[in-house]
Amino acid sequence: MASLKFLVIEDSPTMRQLIRFALNRIPQVEVVEASDGVDGLKKLSSADIDLILTDINMPIMDGIKLVTLVRSNENYKDIPIIIITTEGAKEDKDRAMALGANAYITKPIQASSLVSTVKQLLKL
């Protein structure tokens, strides 16, 4: 029985699978997948999510817009958000963190680094 639910919002199925692989190293975790920001918001409202991991560059709704919407919603504003992106520029990171992201990881990801960031954020 999973006790933690993580929402992975990423348009690339390859990355979603890789992130799922990494997160499954943490015991009792259920991964919910979404392929863009809009899909992510739908899944967020239908499940009791403990952590959001999102890409920035996605079709329909990007990760930055998603972070803004989540942080402005009273029900979800306290959910930790990890950005996973190819955008490695400092200004991109600063912008995402200023909007309310809790961590910023650049691709290509290291599974161990992702897991330790998640554990640190959730105090596992």
Using the rule CB under 8 A, give the single segment among 41-49, 59-67, 75-83, 102-110 that binds another protein: 102-110
Name the segment binding another protein (CB under 8 A); options: 1-9, 30-38, 42-50, 105-113: 105-113
Spatial CA neighbour of 22 closest among 91, 116, 124: 116
Of the residues 1, 3, 14, 28, which one makes contact with another protein according to CB under 8 A:
14
Q: Is 110 in the site for another protein (CB under 8 A)?
A: yes
Residues between 23 and 82 that touch another protein (CB under 8 A): none
Rounded CA separation 34/114 (Å) = 18
Torsion of CA 91, 98, 120, 89, to 10 degrees: -10
Residue of 114, 96, 121 whose CA lies nearest to 25: 114
Cβ at position 25, least distance to another protein in Å: 9
User: Is 95 among the residues that bind another protein (CB under 8 A)?
Assistant: no
